[in-house]
């Protein structure tokens, strides 16, 4: 009897998680991008499994059915793994990789927490992020043009966003920069897809894909094809660290129902 009740309870919990994932998919259509800024640093040397990861959206996000998510909306995740770096002084030793893995769990939409199924399309350190917001001081560019992470050019006096090959790849509006995503591989192990719909870009280019500005660090998993929603950084020279004010471009993907029902 007890076993039957427990089985029914587990099935109900699985169904509830499945329904939550389905509701999130309807609210956050596949290919929706979410530009975020991390509000606190996460250091592999100090991180513990379960530590909270906090970020906020950096511009308005377009959702389904004309609904929008305001800039500053909270994105919540947690640390999955954090292994610190220890230098092996043995002659000719191959240094053991230090790793940091985080999983994105939910986003707060006007007070309602929605589960996330996303991968990290691109991630940039604070310096690279800052550079994308500041025009280069030059007499050759009186228009105060800024360069998005990935190379697209944004000029305040024009609405078009121009790629390095001088093609119009997006548009800037009062609420931010928007573009159709361009397929790319960059240095991401799982690549980045394209989209037929206009998406929120924040400081990122339409073709931005992978890791930008993180010294001696490798993106070994973006959460697109394996372990959906989990980002993994590794380094054999230092402990990977996501600094406060680093930015990332998350992209909604199909939920992993096996994970959702656990």
3-state helix, strand, coil in the chain (%, to 5): 15, 35, 50
Q: Identify the band that residue 27 occupies on the pLDDT scale cut at 50, 70 and 90.
A: confident
Give the pLDDT score at 139: 58
Average pLDDT, the chain: 86
* Of 16-25, 116-125, 224-233, highest mean pLDDT: 116-125
pLDDT classification of 138: cutoffs 50, 70, 90: low
The Cα 194–Cα 207 span in angstroms is: 8
Distance, in Å, from the CA atom of 216 to the CA atom of 31, rounded to the nearest integer, reads 30
Name the token pair of 185: 């591989």
Contact at 8 Å (CB) between 66 and 57? no
DSSP state of 81: E
Q: Which pLDDT value is given to residue 29?
A: 92
State mean pLDDT over 77-99.
85
Domain boundaries, the chain: 2-260
Percent of the chain with pLDDT over 90: 68
Degrees to nearest 5, angle at CA 39 with 222 and 175: 85
Q: Average pLDDT, stretch 45-56?
A: 96
pLDDT in tens, 173-227: 988 999 999 999 999 999 999 999 999 999 999 999 999 999 999 999 999 988 9
What mean pLDDT comes out for the span 18-24?
A: 45
Lowest mean pLDDT: which of 134-138, 145-149, 158-162, 251-255?
134-138
Using 50, 70 and 90 to split pLDDT, how confident is the model at 137?
low
Highest mean pLDDT among 117-131, 224-238, 245-259: 117-131
Q: Give the 3-state secondary structure of residue 129.
A: helix
Cα angle 130-132-71, degrees, rounded to a multiple of 5? 80
pLDDT band at 6 (very low <50, low <70, confident <90, very high): very low
pLDDT bin (cut points 50, 70, 90) of residue 20 is very low
CA distance linking residue 207 with residue 121, whole number of Å: 9
């Amino acid at each position: 009897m007890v076993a039957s009740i427990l089985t029914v309870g587990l099935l109900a919990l699985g169904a509830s998680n499945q329904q939550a994932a389905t509701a999130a998919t309807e609210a956050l259509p596949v290919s929706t991008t979410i530009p975020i800024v991390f509000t606190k640093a996460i250091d592999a040397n100090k991180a513990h499994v379960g530590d909270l990861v906090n970020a906020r959206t950096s511009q308005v996000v377009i959702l389904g059915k004309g609904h929008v998510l305001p800039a500053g909306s909270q994105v919540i995740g947690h640390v999955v793994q954090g292994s610190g770096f220890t230098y092996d002084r043995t002659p000719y030793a191959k240094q053991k990789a230090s790793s940091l893995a985080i999983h994105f769990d939910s986003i707060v939409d006007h007070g309602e927490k929605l589960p996330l199924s996303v991968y990290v399309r691109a991630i940039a350190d604070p310096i690279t992020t800052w550079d994308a917001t500041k025009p280069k001081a030059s007499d050759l560019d009186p228009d105060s043009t800024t360069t998005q992470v990935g190379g697209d050019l944004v000029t305040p006096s024009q609405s078009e966003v121009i790629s390095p090959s001088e093609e119009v790849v997006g548009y800037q509006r009062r609420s931010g920069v928007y573009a159709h995503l361009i397929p790319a591989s960059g240095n991401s192990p799982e690549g980045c897809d394209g989209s037929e719909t206009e998406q929120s870009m924040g400081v990122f280019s339409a073709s931005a894909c992978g890791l930008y500005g993180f010294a001696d660090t490798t993106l070994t998993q973006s959460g697109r094809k394996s372990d959906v929603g989990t980002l993994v950084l590794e380094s054999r020279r230092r402990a990977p660290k996501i600094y406060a004010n680093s930015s990332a471009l998350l992209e909604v993907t199909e939920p992993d129902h096996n994970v959702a029902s656990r």
